[in-house]
Chains A and B, each alone.
Chain A
Amino acid sequence: MTAEDRESFRLGVRQGIPFGAVGFVISLSFGVLATEAGFTALQAIVVAGLVFAGSAQFASLSIVAGGGGIPAALAAATLMNSRFLAMGIALAPSLPGRAVTRAAQGQTVVDSSWALASRGDGTFDRWRLFGTTLPQYVSWLAGTVVGAYAGDLIGDPERLGLDALFPVFFVAILLAELKRPGARTVALVGAAIALALVPWTPPGIPILAASVAALLGLVMPDAPSESAPEVTT
């Protein structure tokens, strides 16, 4: 780890903290909803600590809470997670080491860290990625612990409006990305694809399909890739 890597890591940790703060409350609502649905507190905590993927956790929980079975819940979670396949392929050339090491490094990807670690030229700063993920992992785990044990005190997360946190979290990451020339067009096309598919496909598929819009990158004018996107925190 060079001095530059350490600097990237520190910068990542700083940028990850506000996302971690919001993630704490999102994860807290997961803890409340999961125990309400019939998970034990330990089960909710194990999910947060070892799955650590918000959209997949909520997708599978809403299916089993509604009476659905394990195959449907797993399929929904995998579809929500399928975007990590696209992210992992994008990230891959920037990860050094043997296959096992690369696989381990790939586990640290969450949406915000992946987007913030992008240098804008197709390469990624992996230490910034690790740094941004770290505070979010800690707060994600802590949030579920609190939610799982204090659910009765907290009440219905939806009545409290906590479901608004998840999208706002992604808007914050998105705004940093949109500064690049051409990014808005690609984003709008992605949104249109996703919304058009909602009535016709299971949840998760519209999001994965939206990534097809990235093919427009082939015809976009050259991006002046001076630095990684900055985010207001």
Chain B
Amino acid sequence: MNLSTNEVWLLIAGLILMTALVKAAGPVFVGGRELPQPFMRVVSFAAPPLLTALVVTSVLADGRRLAVGADTVGVLVGGLLLVCRVPLVVSAVAAVVVTATLRAFL
């Protein structure tokens, strides 16, 4: 890292400010009133694509490169366990164990 401790504080202040502003924007500008039906329909479908995109990019993207690694397999195992209604904490442990084991032997 090329940043001094003071520069890190500057970065942190920026992160706090940006995150607070992004989270406040929606509630401040469109809050407290009923919105048209088509808008609500779109909104009710916003979570699945956002969450799927988070999953596929964290598992398959390495910067701007698409790559398969030990974590891809681990997350796949954890995901399958979740589909089979295994509790989150157990599925998460399985994903970690599979990922770490593959890394140790590959």
Chain A residues engaging chain B, CB cutoff 8 angstroms: 18-19, 21-22, 25, 37-40, 43, 46-47, 50-53, 55-57, 60, 64-65, 67, 69-70, 73-74, 77-78, 81-93, 95-97, 99, 102-103, 105-107, 109, 111, 114-115, 118, 120-123, 158-175, 177-178, 180, 182-184, 186-191, 193-195, 198-203, 206-207, 209-218, 220, 223, 225, 231-233
Contacts and interface: CB of A to CB of B under 8 A. Distances in A.
B22 to A, nearest CB: 5
A35 to B, nearest CB: 11
A218 B79 CA distance: 29
Given A18-B88, A165-B92, A214 B27 contact: no
Secondary structure dominating the interface of A: helix
A177 B82 CA distance: 13
Given A38-B3, A89-B43, A92-B26, A164 B31 contact: no
Contacts of A51: 12, 15-16, 19
A122 B82 contact: no
20 contacts: A43-B5, A50-B12, A50-B16, A73-B11, A77-B15, A82-B22, A83-B54, A89-B29, A93-B40, A107-B20, A121-B44, A158-B103, A164-B71, A165-B95, A167-B75, A171-B78, A199-B65, A210-B50, A211-B46, A211-B53
Contact of A64 (B1, B20, B66, B75): B1
Contacts of A43: 5, 8-9, 12
Contact of A194 (B2, B8, B56, B92): B56
Contact of B26 (A89, A169, A203): A89
Contact of B30 (A89, A122, A184): A89
Contacts of A77: 15, 18-19
A38 B8 contact: yes
Contact of A160 (B7, B42, B54, B100): B100
A39 B8 contact: yes
B48 A99 contact: no
B24 A93 contact: no
Interface in B74-100: 74-75, 78-79, 82-83, 85-89, 91-92, 95-100
A167 B61 CA distance: 12
B106 to A, nearest CB: 12
Contacts of B100: 159-161
Contact of A91 (B26, B50, B78, B99): B26
B79 A81 contact: no
Contact of B3 (A64, A88, A163, A203): A64
B42 A92 contact: no
Nearest to A49: B16
Contacts of B63: 203
B65 to A, nearest CB: 7
A225 B66 CA distance: 37
Contacts of B60: 195, 198
